[in-house]
Amino acid sequence: MASCQNTFKQLLFMSVVQMKEFYSWVFNEYPYFVQQDNRRFVSQETGNLYIAKVEPSDVGNYTCVVMNSITKGKVHSSPTSLVLRKDGVMGEYEPKIEVHFPDTVPAAKGSVVTLECFALGNPVPEITWKRANGVPFPSKVKMKYSNAVLEIPSFQQDDTGGYECVAENKMGKNIATGRLAFHAKPQWIQTMRDTALAIEERLHWECRANGKPKPSYNWLKNGQVLITEERVYVDNGVLLISSLNLSDAGMYQCVAENKYGVIYFSTELMVLGMVLFKMVSPVGDGGSDSTHVTSFSIYPHRITLSPDGTLRITNVTKYDAGSYTCFARNRFGTSSTTGRLLITDPTRITQGPVDMEIIVGESIVLPCQIACDPVLDVFFSWAFNGQLITKTDRHFELRTAGDLMIRNIQLNHAGKYICVVDTDVESLSAVAILIVKGPPGPPDTVAVEEVTDSTAQLSWSRGRDNGSPITIYLIQTRTPFTVGWQRVDTVPEVIDGNTLTATVVDLNAWVEYEFRVVAKNSVGVGEPSPTSLQTRTEDAVPDAAPNDVGGGGGSRSELVVTWEPVPEELQNGESFGYIIAFRGLGEMTWTHVATSAPGASRYVYRNDSIAPFSPFHVKVGAYNSKGQGPFSPVVTIYSAEEEPSGMPGGVWARSVSASEIEVNWQALSFTPERVLGYEVVYWEDDTKPETMGKVRVPGSQTSVTVSGLGQNTQYFLTVSAFNTAGTGPFLPAINATTKKSPPGQPPLNVEWTLIGSQITIYWEPVVAMETESEVTGYQLSYRSLKHKEENMLLTNNSTAALTLVDNEDYVIHIRSLSEGGLGPATDPIRIHKLSKLLIM
């Protein structure tokens, strides 16, 4: 079953076959398949046929064909007709995406991924694709069927992310978005080494794995799960243990897991049983340091010892690095402690973020590269407009090297970005201002201020320009008679970005309109404004005359006039009707009649004085409550004619086969009436009215073969002439009997001999049954599989000889001949080009 939803310019045929097969559509008859181009598309996901903009050449019957890609078997739907509507005119309108891929498309590594996208619109939309991150497509990506299909062979993780299909014409554009998701089990990208640390030191381990979906992490110590408590902190692959003690030593495992797999990495922690006294934190070169001491052997001018025991070193250099011992004495004895002073190079930001402008939807990386002493632990963080950026925002990606990636940038991402670099010694930062430009925001408050029968004056409020000045405004309209929004003509013709009022022209009278305004800047076309209140234009005298005026036919003394009704949107007012004017050929005075039915398409004028098949001049006009509109061009039609009064002569009939009778007659030599053709009526007998049938042929034809008859059956037949008024008198009936049916048994026991290229075939003669026609001979049909041309050989015997061409394959069939027609064929006889073996 197929259903279609058709307007003058758009079409959708739907197929209900649910199998994952190959779909195609036949136009009118096999093998004329619908050729896919920028206007026509067959979805291999649903089987639907889409036509973006229907043309008159598309009118016809459509049949859906589904083929199993394995068995090659085919299934055909019943035909669905496409008829072009003439009751309205489809204007130009923006694209409407009918075929688009899901929001999330899962894909496995190495697979072939196909995304479909197709839109209706006038003019026919152009389809383009892009990645949401702005990265160009690799060379392996293929575009098919005028870009309606995007194909990615050998799918890899680099192919994941957002994809956008953009359908655009001069009326606007529409976008479909979705993401390709990569599925893979975890794999290690960062692991740990066996580590030896002293008591009271701090352990920092981090493991990282990639995988789709993103893996989760656990930590084990000696096979037991670790959780965050007291000195231990566990979070997303990070293990921190502060103030180590001997009990922390052991075997540790990081576990990464997603629904596709789990992996483990083991490492050992050794805790050394000694104490390292660090009197101070590491000090950068050129800084200062304070240590509490009670004595010091030598005091350079940069080193001072305070009475409270504090040792202060100013303008620190790398030469100050080393071990320092503090001695404390009293009358009970002496005590000392030693600490190590580390001197580091100052940290520098070598490449920081810079101010920039970027377009909505693009992706960028803000760098934050540093040079630092390798002994320092470095921590990066980013702030946006004073708020710390976390990993919860899908637009931001904090990279381990310090850079910040912003994906699919939106307008709200404009602002101040700060990269902060923290070490044990110092803290640095770099600032950048990001300006985001996008298509304009929607204009506001569209008001219709003045309306005539063909114009409407509009005003609106300015929307946001989103970082790029508005260059022009476009006005679109919608009525109950249009599909979607359509662009309209205005005064001024081009509405610049500083103009907030315009007059819409060339509107239809007495039609309800809605309006909206769209702004455009250097980035693109923005979202439309809210819709205005519905407004009806004023009424006016009709300005359109009916089309396709014609007529003819009908009954005696009738003049039949036909026309195509004026569409409702062109009737221009209330109380709409038609004025029919006609006069005989050569007359000067017109006869006028009126009909008040707006949907009327036919009028019949009856008068006994009208002679049969007389010519008339006819024109049709329209009127409404405002007055009378124009008439159509004058055409010539004829009044009803009389059926032929004469009968054809010399009728005779003969049986041709078990299902056909040939009927012959002589054409009418003279008749005052017009003869369009001849009608043959046939039946079995008067008690079987259901067996009656008829065949009509043109007037130039004097014979016809009636087919589809019963075998060995007597039929009565008669012939008459006809025209538009009906059929004339019938001749007295004649009769003819169809032949008996052909033999129902094919030739049996087929044998053959082959000498060189000469093959001789033998078979058992077919014996007809009493109810079948006698066998009069045999027909051999044979064809080369290379050339496909079929040849025939007739014989009266049950044997035949053929000469075959070397090095070609042949297929041979044998049928019996009889008065009733051809009998059934034998199974195919196949002759192979090399072995010339017979395969039954």
Contact predicate 375/284, CB 8 Å = no
- Torsion angle in degrees (nearest 10) through CA of 41, 44, 48, 53: -10
Contact predicate 541/627, CB 8 Å = yes
- Strand locations in 591-702, DSSP E? 591-595, 602-606, 615-624, 627-631, 635-638, 649-655, 661-666, 677-683, 693-698
Distance of CA 636 to the CA centre of its chain: 49
d(CA 680, CA 721): 9
Contact predicate 237/166, CB 8 Å = no
Task: Identify the band that residue 20 occupies on the pLDDT scale cut at 50, 70 and 90.
Answer: low
Residues paired with residue 800 on neighbouring β-strands, in sequence order: 761
Task: Name the CATH code of domain 547-638 (choices 3.40.1160.10, 2.40.10.10, 1.10.10.10, 2.60.40.10).
Answer: 2.60.40.10
Residue 92 has pLDDT above 50, yes or no: yes
Q: Which residue has the tokens 């009326």?
A: 171
Task: Name the CATH code of domain 649-737 (choices 3.40.50.300, 1.10.3720.10, 3.30.1330.10, 2.60.40.10).
Answer: 2.60.40.10
Q: What CATH number is given for 444-537 in this structure?
A: 2.60.40.10
d(CA 702, CA 699): 8
**What pLDDT is stored for residue 528 in this prediction?**
96
79 contacts: CB under 8 Å, gap ≥ 6:
2, 61, 62, 63
**Structure token pair of residue 385:** 């407009």
Residue 368 has pLDDT above 90, yes or no: yes
d(CA 34, CA 22): 14
Contact predicate 142/73, CB 8 Å = no
**What pLDDT is stored for residue 322 in this prediction?**
85
**What pLDDT is stored for residue 600 in this prediction?**
94
Share of the chain above pLDDT 90, in %: 51
| Tens digits of residue pLDDT in 187-235 | 899 999 988 888 888 999 999 998 878 899 999 998 889 999 889 999 9
Residue 31 has pLDDT above 80, yes or no: no
For residues 641-656, average pLDDT? 92
**What pLDDT is stored for residue 346 in this prediction?**
85
d(CA 538, CA 573): 8
- CATH superfamily ID and name for 193-206+213-272: Immunoglobulins (2.60.40.10)
| Choice between 176 and 181, residue whose per-residue pLDDT is larger | 176
Residue 9 has pLDDT above 90, yes or no: no
**What pLDDT is stored for residue 217 in this prediction?**
95
Amino acid at 624: N
Residue 329 falls in which region: left (phi positive, over 0), alpha (psi -120 to 50) or beta: beta
Residue 588 has pLDDT above 60, yes or no: yes
573 contacts: CB under 8 Å, gap ≥ 6:
509, 510, 539, 540, 541, 542, 624, 625, 626
Residue 29 has pLDDT above 80, yes or no: no
Ranking 26-35, 457-466, 502-511, 628-637 by mean pLDDT, the lowest is: 26-35
Domain residue ranges in the chain: 1-89, 97-190, 193-206+213-272, 303-341, 349-437, 444-537, 547-638, 649-737, 748-833
- CATH superfamily ID and name for 97-190: Immunoglobulins (2.60.40.10)
758 contacts: CB under 8 Å, gap ≥ 6:
801, 802, 803, 804
- Strand locations in 154-258, DSSP E? 161-169, 172-190, 195-198, 203-206, 208-212, 216-221, 224-225, 232-235, 238-241, 250-258
| Tens digits of residue pLDDT in 117-173 | 999 998 999 999 999 888 889 888 999 899 999 999 888 878 888 999 999 998 888
Amino acid at 303: I
**What pLDDT is stored for residue 289 in this prediction?**
46
Report which DSSP code applies to 732: P
Q: Reply yes or no on domain 349-437 having CATH 2.60.40.10.
A: yes
**What pLDDT is stored for residue 300 in this prediction?**
54
For residues 260-283, average pLDDT? 64
Q: Which residue has the tokens 């009733």?
A: 820
What's the whole-model pTM score?
0.50
**Structure token pair of residue 633:** 């061009």
Task: Name the CATH code of domain 1-89 (choices 3.30.479.30, 3.40.50.1000, 1.10.1840.10, 2.60.40.10).
Answer: 2.60.40.10
Residue 560 has pLDDT above 50, yes or no: yes
For residues 96-118, average pLDDT? 87
Residues paired with residue 167 on neighbouring β-strands, in sequence order: 127, 174
**What pLDDT is stored for residue 834 in this prediction?**
47
Residue 542, class by beta-carbon neighbours within 10 Å (0-12 exposed, 13-18 middle, 19+ buried)? buried
Q: Could you tell me how many residues make up the chain?
A: 840
Residue 585 has pLDDT above 50, yes or no: yes
| Tens digits of residue pLDDT in 274-319 | 333 333 334 444 444 444 443 444 445 778 888 777 888 887 777 7
**What pLDDT is stored for residue 109 in this prediction?**
74
| Tens digits of residue pLDDT in 699-733 | 999 999 999 998 899 999 999 999 988 899 988 88
Fold type of domain 748-833: Immunoglobulin-like (2.60.40)
**What pLDDT is stored for residue 110 in this prediction?**
74
**What pLDDT is stored for residue 270 in this prediction?**
87
d(CA 455, CA 490): 9
Q: What is the DSSP string of 398-462?
A: E-TTS-EEE-S--GGG-EEEEEEEE-SS-EEEEEEEEEEE-SPPPPEEEEEEEE-SS-EEEEEE-
Q: What is the mean pLDDT of the chain?
A: 86
Task: For the beta carbon of residue 828, count every other beta carbon within 10 angstroms.
Answer: 11
Query: How big is the CA angle at 693 (ends 687 and 696), to the nearest 5 degrees?
Result: 150
Ranking 346-350, 419-423, 684-688, 769-773 by mean pLDDT, the lowest is: 684-688
